[in-house]
Structure 1
Amino acid sequence: MDQNPSVFMHRRYYIPMIALGILGVALLSTRMLPEEYPPFVKSAVNMSGFLLALIVSTTWWVFFSRFSWLLKIEVVAIIGSAYYGAVKELEFNGDVEPKIIWRWEKPREDKIAEHRTNAPKIELEAISVVVGPEDFPNYRNRNLDGVVTGPEIYSDWKSNPPKPVWKPQPCGAGYSGFSIAGNLAVTMEQRADREVVVAYDFATGTERWTHSWVARHYDAMGGEGPMITPTIDGDLIYVLGGTGHFACLDAKTGQPNWEKKLLEDNKNIQWGMSGSPLIYKDLVIVNPGEQEAKDLSRAIRAYDKKSGELRWQVGNNRAGYTSPMVATLLDTEMLLIFDGAEIAGYNPLTGSKYWARPWVTNQGINVAQPIPIENDKLFITSSYGVGCGLVKISKEGDKFKQEELWHNFNLRCRFTSPVLFEGFIYGLDEGMLVCLDPNDGKRKWKGGRYGQGQLLRQGNKLIIQAESGDLVMVEATPAEFKELGKFKALSGDKTWNYPSLARGFAWVRNHNEMACYDLRKK
């Protein structure tokens, strides 16, 4: 820079220096924020500082720098051309930290095609979808509680990290997990302009069949692709795409028995349909919500699982991001719907509402599955300034009532659902693992940062799929935080997909890659 004061003032170089100061203040302030602040707040401050500094610098260059207009236009054109020529898109992780996707990176679809071409030809067994006791047939397993059973898994991951059953391989975009039954592992992916249901061979990871339709849900912050994990029921598979395409497929062939469009004459929610279909007796229940503010009583729908015939529909709330589930409270089976406005209990056979409690967050973003406790309580948690609470259900005569026993901010689950073990709750509080006593809402401990990952439990072991791609084992005990081991299971730093654990094998994926690891104790 020319140090001549007159040139300094003439060119108004103090303006870009102010921009640098703004950026510096933003970076410094995030370092001073307490650890309790959610990481996405720090990211938002940094991004705001960067954007404001960029706006100030650009304004100075174009309007106040007093360089020739030809030079100004040339510089802007060069920078703009370089950016758009090199940057395909910006991708954001759960803490809203941007990552550049370069234009020269190979597209996912090309990676999948290349993998298919180069994969060895393997003679596969006939498809079987008999659901065994140690299988994982739907989102978060049978009761949607994140609890699995199976052979003992070993914990010496530090000195002997688990090995992949087959080499990790590319997959399509999206945040669906795997549902596993027999020798199939089924998920949903985005491939180009199509949502695709993909069935993989359990032993080899080989693609067995696909079924697809033209649809693509995309959000700048969330990315692209379907969210829900398929539901396997006998020889049928139920799926719901991000844009509302609802289908019942033959598990052996992938051919549709029936298909429906749930969002006809209705809007979608920001990150797309996210609640996996629920099987209850002869019904399949979904919660597409009512985003048009119309009094049409169609937010929750139950269909005959064989024929697809509509059996009942109720409700006018916008959808949330949880899945319908059935739990027993006060010795009564209740359909629990945690949507964008409330947590409520319904009669799963008729849709009649038993009770409801308002639970409103920013844009209706409720993601965590509620946890039934004992016979009359529900633990509920959200992020976005709402926190968690314990709701007690009671009954007077033939009417159900609800009341909140306590409410605090000790466990704020944003993308994840917590699990229960021996009277204590374990969950990711804005990315950090917390053990919580549901009786009074007090934390027993807080430790380990795993980002916006997911977790499940087998016995007294928590299996955490960290957002970084690490698979982590933590002992489930209120005494102390004790990480037993971890290893890099997936590449990348945006793993939001729920892991599956069946027969001691962990199936994991993100929006780029999938893998299977043998966790069985030898």
Structure 2
Amino acid sequence: MSTTPEIQPSFFKRYMIPIILIDVCIVLSIINRFTNLTSEVLMPQFGVAAQNVLGRGIILLTLGLLLLWLLITRQVGLKPKLWVFGLVALLIGAAAVSVREIENTGDNNYRIRYRWQPTQDQRLAEYQKGNNQIQSSQDEQANSASPTSQALDSNAPRYTDFLGPKRDGVVTGPGLVTDLKQQPPREVWRRPAGGGYASFVIAGGVAVTIEQREENEAVVAYDMASGKDRWVRTYPGHFKEELGGNGPRATPTIAENEVFALGASGLLVSLDLASGQEKWQTNILQDAQATNIQWGMCGAPLVVDNKVIVNPGGSQGHSIVAYDRSTGSKLWSGGSAKAGYASPVLGNLLGQQQVIIFGGENVAGYDLADGTEKWQFPFKTFNGINVGQPLVIDQDRVFITAGYDAGSVMLQIKNENGQWTAQPLWQNKRLKSKMSSAVYLNGFLYGLDDGILACLDAKTGNRVWKSGRYGHGQILLRNDTLVIQAESGELVMVAADPERHRELTKIPVLPGDKTWNAPALMEKWLLLRNHFEAVLLELPTVQVQ
């Protein structure tokens, strides 16, 4: 008696489900990667960050469904299943053992820190072992070209505020050579730095910043000639945020012979510039009875005459607070909007000096004398994340920009019989600066639109061009050159040219790490840092005609 042999299903029928899953994964990944469906249609608030998160989610979901199919299918024997699940368990275990930390960039890409790599504190401690003495004053005097000897000159320029003297990214000085591959800058020193995202301010032969050192926030004066610590003043505190990173954020401010530094959790201190000795301290969040914002206090203290002005935020009339520069006692407060991430700006509006705050809910102008709110314009973004500096243009306009699909607005400021108003001249989404500030030159605005450099006509708001992906970096303007610290750690120079995007040079300076810290540019000295490393460059210069 003959039997009919059992017909085996084809390969496709046996593995139809995983084949379909893989095909769908590939198609969705291609659509997500090469179209703007996610970043501009489905989740415009989060832009490219949403695109990156969704891309990883598609892959992880596919892998999860494949493992589920493998678990329940009869098409695969027990032994191969055990091998696959054993391998998966091994990989997960290896990752858990080897990965110490996963950091996020501005677009939610990952930076992995492995356990065998030295930590920030270990690198810093190793550096300090052989570099605990600064260069002697005799050595400094012998080197007339050193940054220290120039800074000690009473007539020498100083760089005392975040993003330059007006906090608008405009930094005057000699013209810069713009082909740094042909004429590379001289690296004066390079050293490990503590965590955090503050920039430098420079005076008296030192560059001052605030950074995370172990479980302390440390205000540090780097010797400009050698990079070694001139002095360090530490305070207990370690701000941590999964997406925003660890450490303090607000750049200190130098006023004459004093340093004013604000920690991520609200501790404001006044220190002597020469020695680091404390004069006074107060916690601005406790004083205002305010709750800290998601990514911590970021605004650099603004020093005007006898006032130190900060933005703790809160509903109890403490959106803006002025402290006495000499004693730290409170002088006045005003406004009730929550804090943002921009720094206070002193602006001349229609002949009157006002403090302009881009907070978490609005942009507003305050009377310098008593903190009275003169005008305000509502501007809310996702979770109140307003970061870019407000720009005062021609004494009667204020420009602001933010990411998370918020866009930009140019405000017309008017004062009619003592009644101040702010009305939009134009408002659009052609420039969305998520983590940086725009700069203004000759009727045009330049900024990073979700990581891509863009130029806008300041009169109309029309975008002239958009090109050059520099991530969520930072921008300074020297004469007609944009000096960009790209998020990837590259130093880029771009012509401030409304006609077209012209990248002049690009060199790696802080490679392999995200760089959110703003550069500091004093004459030919360029200080760069991120949350791992700091470097001083001497840039080649040219005579400006």
Whole-Å Cα distance in 1 between the matches of residues 230 and 174 of structure 2?
A: 26
Which residue number corresponds to residue 424 of structure 2?
404
Note the 1:458-473 alignment, pairs <5 A: 458-473=478-493
Structure 1 position 51 matched with structure 2 position 60: yes
Structure 1 position 494 matched with structure 2 position 485: no
Match of 1:327, SS state, is strand
Match of 1:216, SS state, is coil
Structure 1 position 516 matched with structure 2 position 531: no
150, 156, 159: which one pairs with 2:182?
A: 159
Structure 1 position 346 matched with structure 2 position 376: no
Which residue number corresponds to residue 247 of structure 1?
269
TM-score with structure 1 setting the length: 0.91
Q: Give the stretch that moved more between structures: 350-359 or 469-478.
A: 469-478
Instruction: From the superposition, tell whether residues 142 and 56 of structure 1 become closer, same or farther in structure 2 (CA, over 3 Å).
Output: same
Amino acid at match of 1:253: S
Which residue number corresponds to residue 302 of structure 2?
278
Which residue number corresponds to residue 143 of structure 1?
166
Whole-Å Cα distance in 2 between the matches of residues 331 and 93 of structure 1?
A: 41
Which residue number corresponds to residue 144 of structure 2?
none
Which residue number corresponds to residue 394 of structure 1?
414
Q: Give per-residue Cα distances to partners, 1:400-437, cap 9 Å, x unaligned.
A: 11111111111111111011112211111111111211
82, 87, 98: which one pairs with 1:86?
A: 98
CA contact (8 A) 1:62 1:72 kept: no
Match of 1:351, SS state, is coil
Whole-Å Cα distance in 1 between the matches of residues 8 and 125 of structure 2?
A: 61
CA contact (8 A) 2:33 2:55 kept: no
Q: Give per-residue Cα distances to partners, 1:70-107, cap 9 Å, x unaligned.
A: 88985665343212101112111111111221111111
Whole-Å Cα distance in 1 between the matches of residues 132 and 308 of structure 2?
A: 39
Match of 2:492, SS state, is strand
Aligned residues: 513
Q: Give the stretch that moved more between structures: 122-131 or 402-411.
A: 122-131
Structure 1 position 115 matched with structure 2 position 127: yes
Whole-Å Cα distance in 2 between the matches of residues 63 and 160 of structure 1?
A: 64
- CA positional deviation for 1:160: 2.0
Instruction: From the superposition, tell whether residues 199 and 14 of structure 1 become closer, same or farther in structure 2 (CA, over 3 Å).
Output: farther
Whole-Å Cα distance in 2 between the matches of residues 121 and 459 of structure 1?
A: 37
Which residue number corresponds to residue 231 of structure 2?
209
Whole-Å Cα distance in 2 between the matches of residues 132 and 53 of structure 1?
A: 65
- CA positional deviation for 1:194: 1.3
CA contact (8 A) 2:135 2:225 kept: no
Whole-Å Cα distance in 2 between the matches of residues 453 and 521 of structure 1?
A: 23
CA contact (8 A) 2:454 2:466 kept: yes
Amino acid at match of 1:206: K
Amino acid at match of 1:400: W
Q: Give per-residue Cα distances to partners, 1:199-245, cap 9 Å, x unaligned.
A: 10112211111111121111111211111111001111011111111
Amino acid at match of 1:350: D
38, 48, 53: which one pairs with 1:39?
A: 48
Match of 2:285, SS state, is coil
- CA positional deviation for 1:520: 3.4
Whole-Å Cα distance in 2 between the matches of residues 298 and 327 of structure 1?
A: 20
Whole-Å Cα distance in 1 between the matches of residues 215 and 275 of structure 2?
A: 22
TM-score with structure 2 setting the length: 0.88
CA contact (8 A) 2:124 2:193 kept: yes
CA contact (8 A) 2:185 2:540 kept: no
Whole-Å Cα distance in 2 between the matches of residues 88 and 252 of structure 1?
A: 38
Which residue number corresponds to residue 287 of structure 1?
311
Whole-Å Cα distance in 1 between the matches of residues 155 and 198 of structure 2?
A: 22
Whole-Å Cα distance in 2 between the matches of residues 8 and 216 of structure 1?
A: 56
Instruction: From the superposition, tell whether residues 19 and 104 of structure 1 become closer, same or farther in structure 2 (CA, over 3 Å).
Output: farther
201, 205, 220: which one pairs with 1:198?
A: 220
Q: Give the stretch that moved more between structures: 225-234 or 17-26.
A: 17-26
Match of 2:175, SS state, is coil
Whole-Å Cα distance in 1 between the matches of residues 214 and 10 of structure 2?
A: 57
Unmatched runs of 5 consecutive residues or more in structure 1: none
- CA positional deviation for 1:179: 0.5
Which residue number corresponds to residue 143 of structure 2?
none
Q: Give per-residue Cα distances to partners, 1:238-294, cap 9 Å, x unaligned.
A: 11111111111111121211111223353221111111100111100110112xxxx
Whole-Å Cα distance in 2 between the matches of residues 438 and 417 of structure 1?
A: 15
- CA positional deviation for 1:344: 0.6
- CA positional deviation for 1:14: 5.5
Instruction: From the superposition, tell whether residues 30 and 72 of structure 1 become closer, same or farther in structure 2 (CA, over 3 Å).
Output: closer
Note the 1:297-376 alignment, pairs <5 A: 297-376=317-396
CA contact (8 A) 1:93 1:493 kept: no
Which residue number corresponds to residue 268 of structure 1?
292
Q: Give the stretch that moved more between structures: 450-459 or 91-100.
A: 91-100
Match of 1:486, SS state, is strand
Q: Give the stretch that moved more between structures: 313-322 or 281-290.
A: 313-322
Whole-Å Cα distance in 2 between the matches of residues 491 and 119 of structure 1?
A: 23
Q: Give per-residue Cα distances to partners, 1:41-87, cap 9 Å, x unaligned.
A: 42132122133234434545667789599889856653432121011
Alignment identity in percent? 38
Whole-Å Cα distance in 2 between the matches of residues 409 and 41 of structure 1?
A: 18
- CA positional deviation for 1:298: 2.1
